[in-house]
Structures are given as structure tokens and as C-alpha cells.
Amino acid sequence: MKSMIQVAFSVVVALLIGMSASLAQSTGHKMISPNDLQWSDVPSLPPGAKIAVIEGPMSEAVPFTVRLKFPANYQIPAHWHPAVERVTVLSGAVNMGVGDKLDMQQSMALSPGSMMILQPKTNHYVFTKEETIVQLNGAGPWAVTYVNPADDPRNK
Ligand SMILES: [Cu+2]
């Protein structure tokens, strides 16, 4: 009988330890340094961009934080998102414009420290002249919809 109680006790302890471990994973705070970032390709953007997901995933209804790295002379044709897009420039410069078609004459250059907050379903475009890193904050589920479907790299 005593051993039964001991077994039951250790099962409860094991469950509690397991629960606190998974709680720590879902609510634990994160300390991220640039060296921790793992960069990968971005199927929804023209080739050349890299993404590092810090918080997410972007496909679920949770807050996300990602970094995007664009090479020099990179362009993202006009597109929109289903939710508010918050862009903070970390390095380089991002040129952004609002409209249905990429127009290099109609844009604003955002330098490091600058931020842009874009409302859902606003057509906008991006281009760079130098390598640029931005941070994107928003809430999923995220999507990129191109004004002209032919611009969508997933259709190529
Ligand atoms: Cu965008």
C-alpha cells in the first residue's frame, strides 16, 4: 500500500514538473541577440530576402516578431496584408510607398530607427538601395497578397 502511494506521489510530481516545463516554454521570456537569429528564405517574397522568426509562428493567431533582411537593389511589388504591419528599420534604409504599382519616384526613405505602421489591406511597395534589415511586428495569421498575381513568386 505504501509503495502505491509512493508511486502515485511520484506520478503527480512528474506531471507537475512536466506542466511547469511546458508553461515556461509558452510564457517564458526570451533574450535574443543578433547571433541567435536563424535566417531562411521567404517563399512569399521575391528571391533574395531572408527571414528570422523571433516570435510566432506568423501563420497562427498570435503576436509575431520577425526580422527581414533585403539585399541592395531589392524590390517588393505592390501588395497588402490582412492585419496591421509595423515595420521598424534596424539597418540600411527601406524605401516605401503606398499605391497599386511600385513607383520609385513616389516613396519615402526610412532610415534606422524609423518606423512605419500600415493599416490592413493598404497596397504598398518596398525597394532598397543597400542591404537593409527591418523588424516586422504584427499578429497572425499573416499573409502577403500581391496586387498583380503575376508578381507573386509562389506563382512562378
Ligand atoms: Cu508589406
For 37-55, write each residue's pLDDT tens digit: 999 999 999 999 999 999 9
What pLDDT is stored for residue 40 in this prediction?
Answer: 98
Output the CA 26–ligand 1 centroid distance in Å.
Answer: 28
Distance 114 CA to ligand 1 centre (A): 15
Joined grid coordinates for residue 143: 499573409
CA dist 144 and 21 (Å) reads: 35
- pLDDT on residue 29: 84
Residues of the chain with pLDDT below 50 are 19-25
- Separation CA 125–CA 133 (nearest Å): 16
Residue 23 dihedral angles phi and psi, to the nearest 5°: -60, -45
**How much distance in Å is there from the Cα of 6 to the middle of ligand 1?**
58
Which one, of 110, 114, 106, 146, lies nearest residue 128 by Cα?
Answer: 110
Does the pTM of the predicted model rise above 0.75? yes
Calculate ∠ Cα 27-31-32, nearest 5°: 120
Model pLDDT for residues 122-135, shown as the tens digit of each residue: 999 999 999 999 99
